[in-house]
Structure 1
Amino acid sequence: MRRECRRDPATNVVVAAALFFVACAALLVEEACGGEEPVTELSNGFTATHSADAPGRFEPFLYATNGVFALGFFRVGASSLDLAVVHLPSSFPLWRATPLRLADWSRPATLSFDGRLVLATGPGAGTVLWSTLNPIGDSVKLLNSSELVIRLFDERGTPWRSFHSPSDTLVLDQNFTLSTPPLISENRRFALRLGKTYMALHMEFYGGRTRPMYWQHTALMAQPENGTEPPVYGRLDGRGFFGLYLQGGSGNESVDRIAFDTFPRNLTGAFRRMTLDDDGNLRAYYWTDGSKDWTSDYQAISEQCELPTSCGAYGLCVPGQAACQCLVNSTTVGTTSPPCAAVETTDLCGAGQKFDVVRRSRVSLAYKERVPFETYETVAECEESCAEDCTCWGALYNGASGYCYLIGFPVETVVYEADDRKVGYFKVRKARQSAARARTMSSGATAATVVLSLVLAVAGAYVGYWLWERRRRRRAGGVGMEQELTPRPYRDLKSMDSSNNSFKS
């Protein structure tokens, strides 16, 4: 017996309308992706090659299904190339591969997937700049949370996640643990690290070998004296705070919360991120539908002078004033990082490292509580302790307490304090200045040598020609020097005329 199913006419209308709207949405997505259906999954054998003449900063090739995030080649600075997950409405990179050596945007570079992601440059196999190393998977997907993952067949596991390897940004529900790599600012000068019971900001010197701390937040309810207590981890919450939780706990009860500006407003539905910016400040931002830019919601350091490099190397920041000064010559240079001195990249312990000394009164460090100190009765003793130590770049002495704060890293911004008892002793490397002077002298000497050589060459050529002409004339008629110098009448010149002579009778 055959049964025939008849649809209600109203149902047919609803189905047709639904199909129409789905088709329209598909057309819109295709138009946004250059007329092609967006790729939402990469399989083994996938290869993408960046276009050196691409007009934009970002070349996407993998999309999240919500259309908000994409993975692609990302241009960094004027010429460097990286791999990034980008928030499309704002063009902000939420995650970057950040290889130790960035590719050149003008040269061939490829991303391939054959069980692992590999970013390489050059012809053929080329030079590997970055890869996901050991984890092997069957496909790559970009989730609607902005997390990039490598999955096994039939989603039996996820051997690699980008949330476990952040660059400079954390997003919603991304765990930041003791084993997670630190957040590193895009300029690679600052880092956010997690301790057992705290989170802290560090300056990065000598490739991370020296890491002075300049900001710290300790979990209020953590117990650092309890050696058996598990460490804390952090997570950005959509309700407007950064929570610290005990590792291995339920994850619902925080031991501390860093509340953002929107926390009392109960703003939900916004996409949030926390980024370590290039000025060394840790900030939180949010994005809502219809936004034209990210809205700042939190900053770890609120005062400009408390930022470690707000006035640059050997700079002096005056609180409450929109100006910086140079420690070396007291020049006022404005609110931006002044060219008081170049950023140091090597220490003072090499052979022949000489330095000048600069002394200033009424100076201090905004983060001096995090700098090691000794106690001396006089400022001379404080200076001597630093002068004899090649790892010391400066010392700050408080005459009231006798504390001598030793700066074991290249001198950055210090802060003005109206107290004559607070004095500073700073080392300024001589080698760089001497080298510049030597280069100037060398350039001048080279130029003088070239000019002198040209003069001698011309003179030599003239003398040589004169001797040759003299010899020729002697052979022709035995004319001596005295006769050559004796004036001749005008008629003699006429007698020497020829068809090629310009003199005419």
Structure 2
Amino acid sequence: MSIPNPLFLIILFTFFIFSQSAYSQNQSTSSSTSKFPWSPPDNRFLISNNSIFAAGFLLAGNTTNRYIFSVYYHNITPTTTIWSVNDNSPVNASSSLFITTSGELRLGDIPFSGNSSSPILSLKDDGSLSFGSWSSFQYPTNTIVPNQNITGKTLSVRNGAFQFDGTSLIYNGSYDAPTSYYQSPNAFMSFDDSGTVKLQNGASFITSDFGDKTLRRLKLDDNGNLRIYGFDSGSGQWNVVWQAVPELCTIKGSCKPNYICMYGETYDTTVCDCPPGFHRVSGLDGEE
């Protein structure tokens, strides 16, 4: 076997080091940035100092050229988002995050924050994204993380069909007036790292994994249920450790008018079927 030319090895090693350096410079792995504009092709993201959270552009759904700027858990697969600025309005690759002349942070045409004299966008260890006095914790989407204040906040699913106002779960369907299908006797305030959920009037309750040192998140799911999930690092799965509505078919809007709601093969699935003697009619919301 021939021995490689030493000059060739030196050139190869130098090329490798240069390539790694160029790759690293093309990525932002700090917890803050003042480098704007910031576009999806820049391949940049922020990582909190404790390496739990990340922020940056994520592909929207199954698309290949539409992006959502989000905060999500770092190094957890599949990607688990806790906040997004444009969940309902994905942008294309040419859009950018930038600061206006008045000091406002914007994503394309989407207002991002109020004016700030500081041009620094930071990702904190608690998962909050901050820009001056503005914080993503002030404007939650569908998720609350430990030690985030819930008081006065409203969670909403992407299409707006379900909301949680801190006390009630509300259905905002197209075929009926807004209807509450769950109500807590005391409003939610926050929950901590141990799994204790604090309510108004000194009340509280604990999750089924109380005391475990793990990641948790409270989320209003797309099916209208409010759940707390705990992360099992052994299996790499998020497990339900508390839920507001155990019986999914009692959630308003689980099925459209005139359907019968039945439970699927797992606790988390439902099946909407026609009453006896009726059949499904294509293109209609109900049954005939």
What TM-score, normalized by structure 1, do the two folds share? 0.45
After superposition, the Cα gap between the structure-2 partners of 1:328 and 1:88, relative to the gap in structure 1 and judged at 3 Å, is farther
Displacement after TM superposition at 1:63 (Å) = 1.8
CA RMSD of the aligned region, Å?
3.3
Per-residue Cα deviation, 1:146-200 (whole angstroms, up to 9, x for no partner): 111123xxxxxxx11111110000000000112x2x1011343211013xxxx11
Deviation at 1:294, TM superposition (A): 1.1
Amino acid at match of 2:84: R
Q: Percent identity?
A: 24
Give 1:92's aligned residue: 80
2:90 to 100, 103, 110: 103
Mapped to 1, the partners of 2:264 and 2:38 lie a distance apart of 52
8 Å contact 2:29–2:44 — kept in the other structure?
Answer: no
Residue 38 of structure 2 aligns with which residue? 48
> Which of residues 42, 45, 59 is equivalent to 1:75?
59
Q: TM-score, normalised by structure 2?
A: 0.76
More helix, by proportion: 1
**Which structure has the bigger radius of gyration?**
1
Say whether residues 1:216 and 2:178 are aligned partners.
no
Deviation at 1:89, TM superposition (A): 2.4
* Cα distance in 1 between the residues matched to 2:159 and 2:61: 10
1:241–1:34: structure 2 CA closer, same or farther, 3 Å change rule?
farther
Unpaired stretches in structure 2, ≥5 consecutive residues: 1-19
Structure-2 residue corresponding to 1:480: none
Q: Which structure 1 segments of 5+ residues have no match?
A: 1-30, 121-127, 152-158, 220-231, 247-254, 344-357, 359-427, 429-505
| Structure-2 separation of matches of 1:167 and 1:305 | 24
C-alpha distance 317-299 of structure 1, shift in aligned 2 (>3 A): same
Match of 1:192 in 2: 164
Q: Is 1:328–1:340's contact at 8 Å kept on the other side of the alignment?
A: no
Find the aligned partners of 2:240 and 2:232 in 1 and give their Cα distance. 12
- 2:274 is aligned with 1:326: yes
Moved over 6 A (4+): 319-322
Seen in structure 2, the aligned counterparts of structure 1 residues 142 and 328 have a Cα distance that, compared at 3 Å, is farther
Give the Cα–Cα distance (whole angstroms) in 1 for the partners of residues 264 and 129 of structure 2: 44
Which deviations, in whole Å up to 9, do the C-alpha atoms of 1:21-78 show, x marking residues without a partner? xxxxxxxxxx8x95346232122x6211113xx9xxxx54222122221111122334
- CA–CA separation in structure 2 for the residues paired with 1:139 and 1:210: 43
- What amino acid is aligned across from residue 84 of structure 1 in structure 2? S
Which AA in structure 1 matches 2:127? S
SS of 1:35's equivalent in the other structure is: helix
Structure 1 203/76 Cα, relative in aligned 2: closer, same or farther at 3 Å?
farther
Match of 2:226 in 1: 282
Indicate which of 198, 204, 215 corresponds to 1:257. Answer: 204
Larger relative contact order (CA 8 Å, sep ≥ 6)? 2
Helix, strand or coil: the match of 2:49? Answer: coil
The alignment partner of 1:83 has SS state of: strand
Count of residue correspondences? 256
Going from structure 1 to structure 2, the CA distance change for 1:133 and 1:314 (only over 3 Å counts) comes to farther
Aligned to 1:203: 171
For 1:342 and 1:310, the matched residues in 2 are separated by 13
Per-residue displacement from partner, 1:244-296 (whole Å, max 9, x unpaired)? Answer: 135xxxxxxxx222332123xx22x2111000011001111112544512121
Matched, 1:131 2:119: no
The answer for the alignment partner of 1:341 in structure 2 is 284
Query: Quick check: 1:186–1:277 contact (8 Å CA) kept in 2?
Result: no
Return closer, same or farther for 1:319/1:150 CA change in 2, 3 Å cut-off: closer
